[in-house]
């Protein structure tokens, strides 16, 4: 290769690298809308199950656990600047089984519950050309609904309803978008959400409760999106 060709090749490579480094994936005023699937994987911990609020007698060694669930989800982000965005995540209602452990009296599935965990986060996006990682922090409000007792032993003791308090806590996230052209992108995202609730068992003349249930899930999302 002669010197002229070598210099031309070097210049082309340098120009391409400069353009790639300066490519703005998103700019202030842009909207980014994503749709995909989200998995909620609880890292639960709980107090013991109590038979009564008036005369609390914990069931020795008892606790409750919450299983994982996957649902369709979406996010909407608005770029406040070229690097800072505010984002909302929403999803179809997640459904979880609440199970008991510790003694024969509370083993197995106890109840089912649905919840919605809308979360608003402030994000910082790093511009690395087509690949754009980001970190975020925000607030979560989890709404529990459609709770129902499913355990036959609990029903035989007179319990026919269960209620979980709504939860308000913080959320942390790390994720990345990859530009695949024409404003379309691929996305992967991981969050930690602080979710803590209390569960109350109700029935005809009987009550029971779990004073503190820490769900604290890790939330995984895979999505495809569009920048407008």
pLDDT given at position 200: 83
Query: Which domain CATH number covers 129?
Result: 2.40.160.20
**Helix (H), strand (E), coil (C) string for the chain:** CCHHHHHHHHHHHHHHHHHHHHCCCCCCCCEEEEEEEEEEECCCEECCEECCCCCCCECCCCEEEECCEEEEEEEEEEECCCCEEEEEEEECCEEEEEEEECCHHHCEEEEEEEEECCEEEEEEECCECCEEEEEEEEEEEEEEEEEEECCHHHHHCCEEEEEECCEEEEEEEEEEEEEEECCEEEEEEEEEECCEEEEEEEECCCEEEEEEEECCCEEEEEEEEEEC
CA angle 113, 119, 124 (to 5 degrees): 150
CB 138 within 8 A of CB 187: no
Residues 6 or more apart from 154 whose CB is under 8 A from it?
110, 201
CB 208 within 8 A of CB 49: yes
Write down how long the chain is: 228
Q: Is the pTM of this model over 0.75?
A: yes
pLDDT given at position 202: 81
User: How many domains are there within the chain?
Assistant: 1
Taking only the tens of pLDDT, the chain with its 228 residues reads 554 444 544 444 443 444 344 445 678 999 999 999 999 999 877 765 665 554 456 565 567 788 899 999 999 999 999 999 999 999 999 999 888 766 545 557 888 999 999 999 999 999 898 999 999 999 999 999 998 888 887 787 778 888 889 999 999 999 999 999 999 999 999 999 999 988 888 887 767 777 788 899 999 999 999 999
pLDDT given at position 71: 97
Residues 6 or more apart from 168 whose CB is under 8 A from it?
139, 140, 141, 142
CB 164 within 8 A of CB 127: no
pLDDT given at position 203: 80
Q: Show the domain range for 20.
A: 3-227
pLDDT given at position 21: 42
């Amino acid at each position: 290769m002669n010197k002229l060709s070598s210099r031309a090749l070097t210049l082309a490579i340098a120009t391409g690298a400069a353009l790639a480094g300066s490519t703005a994936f998103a700019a202030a005023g842009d909207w980014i809308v994503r749709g995909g699937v989200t998995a909620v994987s609880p890292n639960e911990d709980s107090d013991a199950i109590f038979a009564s609020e008036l005369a609390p007698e914990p069931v020795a060694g008892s606790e409750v656990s919450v299983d994982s669930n996957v649902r369709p989800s979406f996010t909407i982000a608005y770029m406040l600047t070229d690097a800072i965005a505010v984002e909302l995540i929403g999803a179809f209602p997640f459904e979880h089984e609440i199970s008991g452990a510790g003694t024969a009296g509370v083993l197995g599935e106890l109840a089912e519950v649905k919840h919605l965990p809308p979360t608003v986060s402030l994000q910082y996006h790093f511009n690395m050309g087509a690949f754009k990682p980001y970190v975020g922090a925000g607030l979560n409000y989890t709404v529990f609904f459609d709770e129902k007792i499913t355990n036959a032993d609990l029903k035989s003791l007179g319990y026919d309803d269960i209620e979980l308090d709504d939860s308000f806590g913080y959320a942390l996230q790390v994720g990345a978008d990859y530009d695949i052209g024409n404003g379309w992108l691929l996305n992967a995202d991981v969050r930690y959400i602080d979710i803590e609730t209390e569960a109350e068992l109700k029935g005809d003349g009987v009550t029971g409760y779990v004073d503190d249930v820490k769900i604290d899930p890790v939330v995984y999302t895979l999505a495809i999106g569009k920048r407008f």
